[in-house]
Homo-oligomer: A and B are copies of this chain.
Amino acid sequence: MTIAEFHPPHRLLLGPGPSPVEDRVMRALAAPTLGHLDPVFLACMTDVQHLLRYVFETQNRVTFPVSGTGSAGMEAALANLLEPDEEVIIGIHGFFGERMYEMATRLGARPIRVEAEWGRPLDEQAMKAALDRSRARVVCVVHAETSTGVLQPIEPIARWVAEREGILIVDAVTSLGGHPVGVDRHGIGVCYSGSQKALSCPPGLAPITFSESALEKVRRRKTPVPNWYLDVSLIERYWGSERCYHHTAPINMNYALREALRIVAEEGLEARWRRHERNARALWAGLEAMGLELLVPREHRLWTLTTIRVPEGVEDGRVRARLLEEFNIEIGGGLGPLRGKIWRVGLMGAGSTRGNVLLFLSALESVLRREGVRCGSGVSAAVEAYGG
């Protein structure tokens, strides 16, 4: 068997994730591997936890990266918090809400759907009404729907859940580091994310944080967590002061996350959120000037991910393939019912720059024109949005 050396091209990652990774993070990733109980690695873990508390805006003791990708974070939240036959409210306004529903069902819980059209946020009153009608203590909501580009306001839902002494689980996979998440401010019970979105680390870790009341619910379970690998009461003994061996952490991925989080801390969360907002607004201005239609109304849009309706008569896959082949730019297609109908353009972490906005607008214009779309130019509008 002869399999050649692998030389992946330098793509400009402007899809729904992974996002571009800075060289500093790559160098950290390739630093010498340590044992998972080496005192130097234990110190690295402590640093990662400090930095994660900062980006989650929390004091939660139990804050660590799950040894898996974003969906492992989702599974860790649900598998620990839900018991068989337990009612749970799940807000579904896209692909990842559906995934939560699917996981809750497999865990033997009784999920109650509260739905919104894909591309719109959940109706907060509908969430409240479902909560009032049920015996659910746990409410799940996707903060940043990666399938639609919608930002779900957390605050009102969090308030009602808190009034009923419930536990709110928030999926912040595509928001953490790019939008305020405010775990403690909103009293979120469990919040998880992915390393490869606005944190600009390669994929492979899922930061997660558990509040004390969420942990209290885990401790009072009548049945064991059916998932050994993701059981927080075991994992917290490794990531906590006991440093009790659970499983071998992905050592080098933790180095990379540490460095990616240091970059977040150097920039400062506030400044990072503003940067994501500024670049997203310029992108929207450019796209609208081109005559393209965005899926999500302005007030509900993510700064990290913009969704564009594929113009009538244009073949989705051809445009994405040309962007990849001619410009080395990756963007995403639609999922589920939006397949073939939207493009997903991420400006996440290191990818959220003025240069990338202008390059992407120019590249898209170049491809669309040759696909026969009579679109205007977006660059001037974007430049103007930046204030010239």
Interface residues of A (CB under 8 A from B): 1, 3, 5-11, 13, 15, 17-18, 20-21, 26-36, 38, 40-41, 44, 47, 50-51, 54, 67-72, 75, 79, 99, 102-103, 105-108, 194, 196, 202-204, 224-229, 245-253, 255, 258-259, 262, 265, 324, 330, 332, 335
Contact = CB atoms under 8 A, between A and B. Distances in A.
Contacts of A228: 71, 75, 99, 102-103, 106
Instruction: List the number of copies, as a whole number.
Output: 2
A17 B37 CA distance: 11
B247 A71 contact: yes
> A10, A204, A258 — which one has the most chain B CB atoms within 10 A of its CB?
A204
A26 B34 contact: no
Contacts of A335: 245
Given A29-B29, A105-B224, A253-B253, A70 B6 contact: no
Nearest to A48: B3
15 contacts: A6-B28, A6-B259, A7-B31, A8-B31, A17-B248, A29-B30, A36-B203, A38-B324, A67-B68, A68-B72, A71-B228, A72-B247, A99-B228, A203-B248, A204-B253
Nearest to A265: B1
A68 B36 contact: no
Contact of A8 (B26, B44, B332): B44
B194 A248 contact: yes
A172 to B, nearest CB: 15
Contacts of A262: 3, 5
B33 A226 contact: no
Nearest to A104: B228
B26 A30 contact: yes
> A3, A28, A226, A258 — which one has the most chain B CB atoms within 10 A of its CB?
A3
A90 to B, nearest CB: 14
Contacts of A21: 32-33
> A204, A228, A259, A262 — which one has the most chain B CB atoms within 10 A of its CB?
A228
Contacts of A72: 67-68, 229, 247
A204 B332 CA distance: 26
A191 to B, nearest CB: 18
Contacts of A30: 26-27, 29-30
A255 B105 contact: no
A5 B265 CA distance: 13
B107 A226 contact: yes
Contacts of A75: 227-229
Contacts of A13: 33-35
Given A28-B6, A75-B228, A250-B253, A33 B202 contact: yes
Contact of A250 (B26, B47, B202, B265): B202
A50 B8 contact: no
A97 to B, nearest CB: 14
A250 B110 CA distance: 31
A1 B247 contact: no
Contacts of A248: 17-18, 69-71, 194, 196, 203
